Amino acid sequence: MSVLDRNKIDIAYTEDNKYILEIVDHLEWNFATRQEHGYILQDKINDYLDYITSGQAEETKPGLRTVIRIVATYSYSKYCIEFLERVKKFVKEKDDICDIEWTHSENEGPFNDGFSDDYSFEPEKIYPRIKKNWAKNPLKEVSLMAVDNNQPNYPDNLVLFRHWDSFVGLIMVDLGDKFGYFTYDLMPKDMTPEKLQEIAFDNLTKNIQFRWSESNEPEIFGIIAGGDFEAESILLGIWDDLAKQLDDDLIISIPTKDLVFFTKLNDKKLRNKMINKARDNFERNTKESPNLIFCKDIFIYSRESKKISVSSKYKL
C-alpha cells in the first residue's frame, strides 16, 4: 500500500487510545514534481476524510479519536509542510473530525525537512504559454479546464495574463525533462509580472526555432516548433512575413497545442478545407488525447492592421 493507492487505507491500528490511519508516502519531494506530488497526497487525504465522514472509522473503532498520519520515506519540503499545515487548519475548523500528523519512516533518513525543493530563479529557463479560458464568463473568471474533467489540476496562484477576451497567458519553467507552472511564490522580490513576461518572450524568440511547412493537404500550412511551443506562435510577430509570402490575409486554427494550421483567408476552397482538417483533429483528440486540445476558435491575420484577432465569423 502507498500514497498512490486510491480509496484504500494503507495501515490502520490503535495507539494511546487513538485510531491511527497511516498514509505511506514513498515519493520524494523536489521542485520538478512537487505540484504533482501535492495533488497525489491531497487525493489520498481526501479518501481518508471520506472514510471518516462516512462513519466507517467510528464504526470500526467506536469512541477513539481518529488520526491521519502521513509517514514519509523522504524529507518533507517547505512546500509540503505548508500544505499539510493548511490541511490541518481546514480539518480543525471544519467540524474537527480528526487530527492530521506527519512523521518519517523509522528505517529511512537522515532528514532535512523544509529544504528539499527550494527554488532558485533562473530567468533563462522561463517561457510563455497560452491557453484557452474555458470559463462561461471569461472576462470575470478563469477556467483552464476544457471539455474533459480528467485533465490535471492547476496551482491557485498562477501568474496570468489576458490575451484577447478568452485566452490567458501563463509562465512556464523549464525543469529539464518537463515544464512546470510558474507561481507568484516563486517570483523574486524585485520582479514584476510584466518584466517576467518580457523575459519569457525573449527566451521564446531566442531559443525556439519556428518553421512553417506545407501539410499533407496542398496549400494548407503548419507551424513546427519541436512539439512544445507551436500554439505560442500565435503571439509572435511571424505572421506578417507569412502573409506576404502567401500574398493574402491568413486564417489560422490551433485545434491542439502542438498543431497550428493556416492558409489564405480569401480562398474559399482552401479556407473550408483547413477548417475541416482542424475540426477533425480537435474532435479526434477530444476523445483520444483531451490533454492536447487547445481551442475551437479561428484566428485572422490582417495585412492591413498587421494584427491577429479571434474571428466572430468562423469557428470549428
* pLDDT higher than 70, residue 47: yes
Nearest Cα neighbor of 236 from 264, 200, 282, 265 is 200
Domain spanning 11-104: CATH 2.40.50: no
State percent of the chain over pLDDT 70: 97
Written as nine digits, the cell of 156 is 491557485
Q: In what order do the strands lie in the sheet with 18-25?
A: 11-15, 18-25, 65-72, 99-104
Q: How confident is the model at residue 211 (pLDDT cuts 50, 70, 90)?
A: very high
* Domain definitions of the chain by residue range: 11-104, 124-184, 211-315
Q: How confident is the model at residue 153 (pLDDT cuts 50, 70, 90)?
A: low
pLDDT at 212: 96
Mean pLDDT on 305-315: 96
pLDDT at 147: 56
pTM of the predicted model, to two decimals? 0.72
pLDDT at 116: 72
In this predicted structure, which of 6-15, 27-36, 141-150, 163-172 has the lowest mean pLDDT? Answer: 141-150
Q: How confident is the model at residue 145 (pLDDT cuts 50, 70, 90)?
A: confident
